[in-house]
């Protein structure tokens, strides 16, 4: 497939920073102004699921999804082996009779008693440090884990929703990235275990839909941030926040000109639920189309923290994307969804959450 010349901001050599070896998949919405996207009314495209299975439900995004599902009255079965998830993320579910945690590796077959209306497959190491530390487990989650979750949905006659990623676009040559873009991915590079796991998961999900009639949905999540991120997971937002709060230098890899588009976790979860209700097969981008360079993000977080920390430039990791910004036209038209949380309010709330945490908790 021919690729047009890359356009848009952030064609420099910088990359997201994290403490230590962070490969920084985080970013920030906005062009430096922090204005919120215009909120829209989210349609009731279908009834809420009565009973849902969420793989990876003890993780960052998964735990927020479990909370939102319970808030709308959906019974939730969370399946997680806690490789990268945390029981701390599920503290609000303690004693909840409508929530069940099953400690199980989704790479091994599993079943759930009783009816299931919705299966959401999030289980996978998803942060740069996690998939670098667990490359085989990451690929297995994309292959065996996706297969087992799809089989559960097929047996139960449930809708299956795969949370894929903007990483399927690699280091894009098209900007912003529409769902029709095939990507520019290094299949054996330092990020390949995550990128290729998700690309395979999308292909398998599509095959189940076309060959086996499974009701499937694919969403591609862009750079989600918010409370419950781990401070040392290699992403820029938690790295910058913990560094700024501690008065340490904010480590920006490269020259910081690479861009990301941050979407607050509340908006991401709202998009997942909208996609689950609408049933559009996708893939559908879920992200904030506003864009910040990583250096702008560092300055923004430092200011919101009231920190005097200096910025320190470090070596850029290999294969780090120079650009990341979603085209969310399909999400707007098919789901009636777009992000509503502004940059500064979202970052401020995230900073406040980190400030309440003991140093090192969740690392």
User: Which are the catalytic amino acids?
Assistant: 194
Q: Please state, in angstroms and rounded to a whole number, the distance separating the CA atoms of residues 141 and 161.
A: 15
CA distances (Å), 260 to each of 36, 76, 110, in order?
A: 16, 32, 36
Residue 144: count other Cβ atoms within 10 Å of its Cβ: 15
Distance between CA atoms of residues 342 and 225, nearest Å: 12
d(CA 256, CA 28): 12
Q: Are 233 and 16 contacting, i.e. CB atoms less than 8 angstroms apart?
A: no
Other C-beta atoms closer than 10 Å to the C-beta of 336 total: 15
Cα gap 211→354, rounded to integer Å: 46
Please give the Cα distance from 353 to 311 (Å, whole number).
Answer: 23
DSSP 333: I
Tokens read off for 101: 């945690």
Residue 149 neighbours by CB under 8 Å, 6+ apart: 53, 55, 106, 119, 121, 123, 160
Give me 97's structure tokens: 């009779």
DSSP per-residue string spanning 3-30: -PPP-SS--SS-B---STT--------S
* Those residues with Cβ within 8 angstroms of residue 67's Cβ, 6 or more apart along the chain or in another chain: 92, 93
Q: Which two tokens stand for residue 145?
A: 């884990």
């Amino acid at each position: 497939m021919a690729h047009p010349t890359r356009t848009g901001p952030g064609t420099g050599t910088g990359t997201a920073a994290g403490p230590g070896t962070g490969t920084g998949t985080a970013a920030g919405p906005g062009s430096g102004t922090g204005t919120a996207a215009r909120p829209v009314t989210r349609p009731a495209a279908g009834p809420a699921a009565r009973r849902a299975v969420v793989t990876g439900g003890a993780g960052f995004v998964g735990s927020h999804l479990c909370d939102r599902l319970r808030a709308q009255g959906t019974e939730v079965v969370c399946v997680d082996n806690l490789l990268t998830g945390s029981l701390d993320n599920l503290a609000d579910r303690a004693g909840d009779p409508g929530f069940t945690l099953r400690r199980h590796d989704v790479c091994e077959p599993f079943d759930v008693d009783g009816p299931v209306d919705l299966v959401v497959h999030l289980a996978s190491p998803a942060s740069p440090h996690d998939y670098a530390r667990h490359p085989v487990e990451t690929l297995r989650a994309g292959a065996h884990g996706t297969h087992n979750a799809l089989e559960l949905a097929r047996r139960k006659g449930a809708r299956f929703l795969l949370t894929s990623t903007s990483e399927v676009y690699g280091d894009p040559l098209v900007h912003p990235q529409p769902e029709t873009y095939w990507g520019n991915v290094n299949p054996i590079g330092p990020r390949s275990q995550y990128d290729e796991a998700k690309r395979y998961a999308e292909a398998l999900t599509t095959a189940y839909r076309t060959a086996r009639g499974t009701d499937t949905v694919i969403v591609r999540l862009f750079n989600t941030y918010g409370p419950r991120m781990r401070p040392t997971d290699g992403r820029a937002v938690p790295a910058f926040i913990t560094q700024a709060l501690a008065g340490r230098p904010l480590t920006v890899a490269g020259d910081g000109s690479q861009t990301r588009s941050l979407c607050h976790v509340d908006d991401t979860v709202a998009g997942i639920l909208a996609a689950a209700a609408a049933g559009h097969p996708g893939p559908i981008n879920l992200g904030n189309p506003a864009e910040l360079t990583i250096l702008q993000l560092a300055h923004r977080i430092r200011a919101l923290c009231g920190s005097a920390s200096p910025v320190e430039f470090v070596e850029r990791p290999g294969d780090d994307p120079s650009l990341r910004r979603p085209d969310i036209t399909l999400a707007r038209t098919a789901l009636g969804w777009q992000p509503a949380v502004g940059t500064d309010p979202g970052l401020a709330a995230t900073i406040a959450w980190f400030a309440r945490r003991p140093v090192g908790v969740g690392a």
